[in-house]
Structure 1
Amino acid sequence: MNRIIGALQLNRTRVQILLGFLLVMMVVLSIAGGLVYRSISELLVRNAESYVGETTKQASARLDAVLAQVDTLSLLLMTDARIQQLLYKVKQGETVTVDQKLSVRPILINLMTFSDLIQGIELYAGDEPFYPLENQNLLERIGQEAAIFANLKEGQLVWADTKQKENGHLLAVRQIRLEDDYLAGGGYIVFRISDSLLDFFNTEFSSIKGSTMHLYDQHQQLVASSSPSLLTSVDPSFLLSSAPQGTHSIINIHGTDYLKIIRQSTETHWSILMLVPVRAITEGLLVLKQALLWSLIVGVVFCLLLLWILSSFITKPIRRLRNKMRIPFLGLPHLNEEVYFNFEMNELNISYNNLVRELHQLVQTVYEKERLKNQAEIKMLQAQIHPHFLFNTLESLYWTLIDKQEEEGAQTVIALSKLFRYTIHAADKDDWVSLTDEIEHCQRYMEIMKYRLGHRLNWQFHIEPLTQEVKVPKLLIQPLIENAIQHGIEPKIGNSSLLVLIRSVEKDGETLLGIQVKDDGVGMERHVLEALKNRLESSSRPDTSSKSGIGLLNVQQRIKLYYRNHYGVYIQSSPEQGTVVDLYLPYGVERDV
């Protein structure tokens, strides 16, 4: 995955900016184009609906006018005096000759000339044919349902069921009410009407390309259609369902979407169905779709161009700063003095320059430390020569004293040699020793002092066994003993004693290592003791010009460096009674440095 990202450079800032903005641009343009396309489509459908609805309304009115014409002509025929007279005679039982029956023919022919829809007129006296003579009876001709409705309507025009349709003609019947018989029924008029009731649609109305009109009766039977093949094998209930007056919906017929509008005739209660192909309505949207597509392409190209320029403003300073930040081989990074147009880039450049300055300063500091370290090592190597000659001299002195059988002096020389070897150590060795080693060093120092002071000096070491392996800084106890001998025991006339007590103590809820050096020497005056305590508390540097308190101050400073601040040296002293120095350290090697 990482190889693919690297190969396509998807991890580059410029590529990420381009892809991110391009994705946003395409999403925005796609959504905007989709909304525009949808809005215009809905607008076109609404306009087509309004137009087709008005056309359907006019067609319905035109159909009602045509049917009203048939109704008017049938009313004229029903009230004709000759027909009224002949039918009244038949009802009264009088004989009507054939010539009398044929005499109504001119009247019927003359009436048909007023309407192209009327293709024939049949006259019935009661249920029997009156003209033409060889016709069927009324029930066989129009059906029982139409005959019953004709009687119920009492002289109004009634349309027969389209099942009675024959040879492309529809049948309409009207009962003749006889004026001489107090408007009682005397016969019927049957009209044969051409089923081309919708021929006027394509001739009198301008319609949308591909639109068709269909006429259904009250029983959902197809009466007339401008495109009968379209509705082949289509259920009429599907076409006419859930469509009240003036409403529309989109239906699919044989894989094509149609806008459906239905209106009902006020004369016959027949339904006019108008079908308009949605494709014909939205045909102009193809140009809009192409325009939106080209707008998207041009927008993307233009966006890529602008993004390329914008990304250059962002990434070019980053590349220049990155080149500056590349550290040369066996060298240090250089300051970048360039000022950028971008505020954030300037802030980043300032941080980089500060880092370079600190790096140069750190390198210089390390260089100086290495130089001083090398000088110190050279001086240390030179200084090692002096202890070497000193040890050789002491060893020669030791063997000289052995030859002279001065055992005490020889042992003193050996103790002094071990004392120097313990004090002078190699640079690669640790400054921390066990408490046992430190006590052995102190005892060697006491033996040397015994050689000097003789019987005047007595000492004791009381050490708890658990404390012997505790690690402490080197030369931490010996300066306390040295300070007690020089300033307390040596100035005193007579014998003196020194006690070194090492044990565990409880102080402030913590178990500490307690080291106490106690002497019965001359002690210190109060003002001298207070001055020494102040110097210890301030941790000031030892005054090399003064020989008093140097060891104590050195120990105090080392403790502050090695341990936390609340550990250190505490002094109690009284004139002619001696001095007690307590040193408290934590158990274990707990160092802050």
Structure 2
Amino acid sequence: MFNLLRKWNTLRNQILFVFLSVMIVVLLFVSILIFNQVSSLLENNAEKQIQQVAVEANGRIETLYEQLNMASKLVATNDKVQKLLTKEYDQKHVAFQEKQDLMGTVNTITANSDGIFSFQLFTRNHTRILPLDNANLMTSLDTRWVKKADDAKGSLVWIGEDPNDSNYFLVIRRVNLINRSFANGGYLLFSIYGNYFKFANQALTGEINQYFMLLDELNKPIITNFEQSSESIVERDKKIVQINERDYMITKNFSNVTGWTVLILTPFSTLTKGITVVRTSILLAGFIGLLIYFICSFFLSNIITRPIIRLTNTMRFASEGSLPSTPNISSVNEINELNSTYNQLVKETNHLITMVYQKEIIRSRSELRALQAQINPHFLFNTLDALHWTL
């Protein structure tokens, strides 16, 4: 293991590792920064868009509410209604024919009013005039709604779901007698269809599991496609709620006209749908950038280390008794300086070796000549001495 690490511990690998490490850190930092910025931007835009949807839905509901207000006001201020209730207020006898004529007038207004199912007209003593029977108002409503209608002094009072038929909602308003200084002349109770306040885009919510709620002043649902209880959601002040193990963002918009609240629950997976594409794009771009940077770093490290490796291999021949010069290569100034210095060193070293070698040869020859010069006289003397003894 140590030998393997030592084998890979080269200058080229170190340069490549440093370049790649720096590139990975830079790419990681930039990717996280861009991802967070884009994610925040997408979430904010989606939140603003949903808030705009809530505002538009609230505006539409206010328009429908004003239509109900206008239709009921037409009935309350109708001349026949005013005359009939004035007679009842003055305790005068009201003919059956007058009631029939009034019934036709009210039916005509009902037919020309969107969302209104029927009108019921009561005297101030809670006796029903229309339809033509003797039903009492108190048998249909709680007394607190009549009190609220009195306190409203002619404004609409939303009651809510009809206790006798859940397909309809009830609204009550007090009828003020114009000729009697706007005294209490009776009550107008009318039923509206349950889907009258249906959201315009509620049919599309099933595709994204988005929930719409229209809450009255008591935070009770008027229109909703949320099948579970909404009390726990309405009471929360947080912007996030978990439903069926999914996180939903809560968007609210309150209406000053109706006193109602539009509440929209949008899954976060819908808000962050574009973030997945951004994440994939960033990962793909980072991988491609890292691959390109790896190739460039590999070639750059080779360009830097190739002259050094060549110079190192040349120096290895010195241990074999040879000092070859390295060829001149085109590289950075530092590498060129190192190569030039090495070549100068090799040149001087080879020159010194040559000089020492020549001096050694000359010295050897001089010693040989000196020996020869010593040998020649001894050889002549020995020859003459031998000749003398021979004679």
Aligned residue in 1 for 2:80: 82
Q: CA deviation at 1:216?
A: 0.9
Counterpart code for 1:173: I
1:52/1:207 contact within 8 Å kept: no
Higher RCO (C-alpha under 8 Å, 6+ residues apart): 2
- Structure with higher helix content: 2
Q: How does 1:152-191 map to 2 (within 5 A)?
A: 152-160=151-159, 166-191=165-190
User: For 2:166, what is the secondary structure of its paired residue?
Assistant: coil
CA 1:84–1:307 in 2, change beyond 3 Å: closer, same or farther?
same
Aligned residue in 2 for 1:137: 137
For 2:107 and 2:96, how far apart are their aligned partners in 1? 18
Counterpart code for 1:105: M
Counterpart code for 1:2: F
Gaps of 5+ in 1: 243-248, 372-593
Aligned: 1:318 with 2:317: no
Gaps of 5+ in 2: 362-391
Return the TM-score normalized by structure 2: 0.76
Q: CA deviation at 1:215?
A: 0.8
Counterpart code for 1:155: G
User: For 2:200, what is the secondary structure of its paired residue?
Assistant: helix
For 2:86 and 2:62, how far apart are their aligned partners in 1? 32
Q: CA deviation at 1:157?
A: 1.1
Q: CA deviation at 1:59?
A: 2.2
Counterpart code for 1:296: G
Aligned residue in 1 for 2:389: none
Q: How does 1:88-487 map to 2 (within 5 A)?
A: 88-94=86-92, 96=94, 101=99, 104-130=102-128, 131-132=130-131, 133=133, 135-138=135-138, 141-160=140-159, 166-202=165-201, 211-225=210-224, 227-229=225-227, 234-238=232-236, 241=237, 251-327=241-317, 331=321, 333-336=323-326, 338-353=328-343
Q: CA deviation at 1:198?
A: 3.6
Return the TM-score normalized by structure 1: 0.52
Q: Deviations over 1:418-452 (max 9, x none)?
A: xxxxxxxxxxxxxxxxxxxxxxxxxxxxxxxxxxx
1:120/1:191 contact within 8 Å kept: yes
2:211/2:226 contact within 8 Å kept: no
For 1:2 and 1:28, how far apart are their aligned partners in 2? 31
Counterpart code for 2:72: S
RMSD over aligned Cα atoms: 3.9
Aligned residue in 2 for 1:73: 71
CA 1:137–1:50 in 2, change beyond 3 Å: closer, same or farther?
same
For 1:6 and 1:176, how far apart are their aligned partners in 2? 99
Q: CA deviation at 1:63?
A: 1.1
2:160/2:222 contact within 8 Å kept: no
Q: CA deviation at 1:354?
A: 6.2
Q: CA deviation at 1:173?
A: 0.9
Q: CA deviation at 1:288?
A: 3.6
Q: CA deviation at 1:185?
A: 0.7
Counterpart code for 2:285: S
Q: CA deviation at 1:257?
A: 4.1
Q: CA deviation at 1:13?
A: 2.0
Q: CA deviation at 1:182?
A: 2.5
For 2:197 and 2:68, how far apart are their aligned partners in 1? 15
Q: CA deviation at 1:224?
A: 0.8
1:143/1:164 contact within 8 Å kept: no
Q: Deviations over 1:161-219 (max 9, x none)?
A: 56968413222111111234322112111122223244351289999965443211122
CA 1:267–1:195 in 2, change beyond 3 Å: closer, same or farther?
farther
CA 1:165–1:315 in 2, change beyond 3 Å: closer, same or farther?
farther
Q: CA deviation at 1:99?
A: 6.5
Aligned: 1:2 with 2:22: no
1:327/1:333 contact within 8 Å kept: yes
Q: Deviations over 1:550-579 (max 9, x none)?
A: xxxxxxxxxxxxxxxxxxxxxxxxxxxxxx
CA 1:366–1:122 in 2, change beyond 3 Å: closer, same or farther?
farther
For 1:230 and 1:313, how far apart are their aligned partners in 2? 69
Aligned residue in 2 for 1:490: none
Aligned residue in 1 for 2:373: none
Q: Deviations over 1:79-112 (max 9, x none)?
A: 2233333333333444557676555432332222
- The number of residues matched between the two structures is 360
Q: How does 1:470-509 map to 2 (within 5 A)?
A: none
For 1:145 and 1:359, how far apart are their aligned partners in 2? 117
For 1:114 and 1:366, how far apart are their aligned partners in 2? 127
CA 1:19–1:234 in 2, change beyond 3 Å: closer, same or farther?
farther
For 2:54 and 2:262, how far apart are their aligned partners in 1? 7
User: For 1:167, what is the secondary structure of its paired residue?
Assistant: strand
User: For 1:168, what is the secondary structure of its paired residue?
Assistant: strand
User: For 1:228, what is the secondary structure of its paired residue?
Assistant: coil
For 1:362 and 1:162, how far apart are their aligned partners in 2? 115
